[in-house]
């Protein structure tokens, strides 16, 4: 069995490759929930929803959120009648979010996700990192703001001074999944806002120390492939490179996969993590995803 720790862009691409090189039922995905919140009356679990849509084969791969070929009739109408609609949620995407919101009236988030993944025919297990409520804020030179306010309204532009969130309790199954896995994969996800919230959940680091853990760097050269990881890493005092990522994971990482373009960092990283592998880590097409998955799974 393989556990995969996931955010909502890089790791879902890798998951698309993994389910082609191993049986999907061998995979349990443990997903970041720190950015979850209510928007326009519905519960939004951005990374969880992306993982669900990815494994159901309906993800919009242009944006890595929402359902492909979606319509936006409800979104446009809500804006017309004066609802803030901070997030641009499509109609089919909204239907699944409404279903999750209704399910959560009588179920935990974990249970709601499990019902949805079964309905969508997903064979891999999907577990949220926590069933606790979460709250993440970003301290910036323009003041403290909610995560989506920073990312959407301010388009990630302010200088980031600090990333703030409370540690949570892991959902039922998180620790067991890590303990029972032959391998734990930390996909190429934002190390500060997608992976650290998972590894900082109570007892997760301890479980990782006893597991065989492989990570893929989301940083190539001195830039993330996409998204605001650089600003968050700098705010936390890490150099923006695969060396900085290695420093975040060094306490429990057994093998680190970095990009061929980062050969210059190999020696330095080997001082932190003994097994460093170089390969192409950028996933532009299906072959790239399969090749990276094969490098990890063997
Ligand atoms: P978020 O929840 O949308 O922030 O998504 P994730 O945390 O899962 O992923 C964001 C990270 O994925 C960014 O830091 C990117 O650099 C990384 N990423 C995206 N695509 C790729 C890729 O093809 N290869 C690698 N190595 N990293 C990627």
**Pocket residue to mutate for ligand 1, from 190, 234, 242, most atoms within 8 A of Cβ:** 190
Tell the residue nearest (CA) to atom 11 of ligand 1.
189
- Specify the pLDDT at position 267: 97
H-run or E-run covering 235: helix 229-235
216 lines ligand 1 (CB under 6 A): yes
Distance 85 CA to ligand 1 centre (A): 25
Q: What pLDDT is attached to residue 298?
A: 84
CA dihedral 149, 152, 157, 159 (to 10 degrees): 30
- Say if ligand 1 is within 6 A of residue 222 CB: no
Query: Ligand 1 in contact with 233 (CB < 6 A)?
Result: no
Which ligand 1 atom is the nearest neighbour of the CA of 7?
A: 8
User: Measured in angstroms, how far is the CA atom of residue 38 from the centroid of ligand 1?
Assistant: 24
Distance 141 CA to ligand 1 centre (A): 25
- How does DSSP classify residue 225? S
pTM passes above 0.75: yes
Which atom in ligand 1 lies closest to the alpha carbon of residue 35?
2
**What's the CATH superfamily of 2-36+123-134+167-297?**
CofD-like domains (3.40.50.10680)
Q: Which pairs with CB-CB distance under 8 Å and at least 24 residues apart come from 264-271?
A: 265/241, 268/243, 269/242, 269/243
Q: How far is the CA of 107 from the centre of ligand 1 (A)?
A: 30
Most ligand 1 atoms within 8 A of CB, residue of 225, 230, 283 to mutate = 225
Q: What is the pLDDT of residue 171?
A: 98
pLDDT averaged over consecutive 10-residue blocks of the chain (298 residues)? 97 98 98 96 97 98 97 97 94 98 98 98 98 95 95 94 96 98 98 98 98 98 94 97 98 98 98 97 98 96
Nearest CA to ligand 1 atom 25: 218
Rounded to whole angstroms, how far apart are CA atoms 113 and 233?
A: 30
DSSP element (H, E) containing 184:
strand 183-186
């Amino acid at each position: 069995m393989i556990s995969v720790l996931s955010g909502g862009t890089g790791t879902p691409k890798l998951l698309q490759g993994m389910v082609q090189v191993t049986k999907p039922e061998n995979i349990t995905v443990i997903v970041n929930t720190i950015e979850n919140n209510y928007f326009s009356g519905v519960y939004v679990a951005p990374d969880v929803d992306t993982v669900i849509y990815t494994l159901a084969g309906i993800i919009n791969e242009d944006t890595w959120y929402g359902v492909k070929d979606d319509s936006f009739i409800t979104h446009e109408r809500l804006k017309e009648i004066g609802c803030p609609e901070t997030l641009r949620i499509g109609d089919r995407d909204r239907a699944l979010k409404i279903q999750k919101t209704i399910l959560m009236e009588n179920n935990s988030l974990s249970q709601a996700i499990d019902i949805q993944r079964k309905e969508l025919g997903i064979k891999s297990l999907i577990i949220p990192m926590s069933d606790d409520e979460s709250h993440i804020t970003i301290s910036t030179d323009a003041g403290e703001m909610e995560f989506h306010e920073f990312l959407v309204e301010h388009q990630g532009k302010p200088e980031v001074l600090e990333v703030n969130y409370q540690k949570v309790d892991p959902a039922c199954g998180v620790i067991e999944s890590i303990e029972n896995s032959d391998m734990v994969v930390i996909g190429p996800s934002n190390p500060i806002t997608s992976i650290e919230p998972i590894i900082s959940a109570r007892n997760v680091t301890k479980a990782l120390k006893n597991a065989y853990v492989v990570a893929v760097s989301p940083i190539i050269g001195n830039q993330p492939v996409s998204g605001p990881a650089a600003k968050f890493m700098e705010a936390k005092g890490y150099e923006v490179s695969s060396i900085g990522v290695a420093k975040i994971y060094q306490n429990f990482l057994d093998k680190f996969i970095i990009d061929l373009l980062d050969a210059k960092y190999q020696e330095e990283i080997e001082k932190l993590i003994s097994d460093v592998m170089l390969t192409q880590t950028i996933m532009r097409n299906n072959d790239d995803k399969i090749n990276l998955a094969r490098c990890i799974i063997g």
